[in-house]
Amino acid sequence: MSERTVPLDYANSIAFDLQKAFWDERGKGARFRMTTVGRAYFQERCLGRIEGTEVASIVQEVGRILQDEGIIGSLSASEDGRLLRLRVQGCLHRSLEDQVAALGSEPLACVPANIVALSLEQRLNRPVELAEIKLADGGCELLLVVFDQRPHLGGGA
């Protein structure tokens, strides 16, 4: 198999075209379908490296993994009850978000936020919703809502 790589601007332009087509078809509702973007990457490259059992430690581990992989420059977080605010700096996908913003729209997806959400859901059994993506100075500010743990439905007969 070849070790050939694809230029980042090419990959981001294709991802942009896909997001735009999805937006044209579904409007703002498309965001709720984009939460699984990055799931295969998460399962193959991240899940086995995440050991934390608290929101803060899981977010820190995800940030380290994404930095090690060269996807982001940094990830910081703050918690306020159910709200989890993330700040991502130096993301490879920022040019894609800039293209979306140039059309007057909010970005539909954020792979780092999706990886954080998938990690929290997997490790803590807590549903997570990406509520907001805002572009900021060289980075993105993200708002996630972390819900209570799902009930364990069990039973024996």
How confident is the model over 61-108, as pLDDT tens digits? 999 999 999 999 999 999 999 999 999 999 999 988 888 888 888 788
Instruction: Give the gyration radius of the chain's Cα atoms.
Output: 16
Average pLDDT in the 2-27 region? 81
CA distance 141 to 52: 23
For the chain, what is the HEC assignment?
Answer: CCCCCCCHHHHHHHHHHHHHHHHHHHHHHHHHHHHHCCHHHHHHHHHHHCCCCCHHHHHHHHHHHHHHCCCCCEEEEEEECCEEEEEEECCCCHHHHHHHHHCCCCCCCCHHHHHHHHHHHHHHCCCEEEEEEEEECCEEEEEEEECCCCCCCCCCC
Instruction: Take residue 96 and report the two structure tokens written for it.
Output: 């894609």
pTM, entire model: 0.85
- What confidence tier does 151 reach under pLDDT thresholds 50, 70, 90? confident
Q: How confident is the model at residue 142 (pLDDT cuts 50, 70, 90)?
A: very high
Domain annotation for the chain: domains and CATH numbers: 8-146 (3.30.1380)
Percent of the chain whose pLDDT exceeds 70: 96
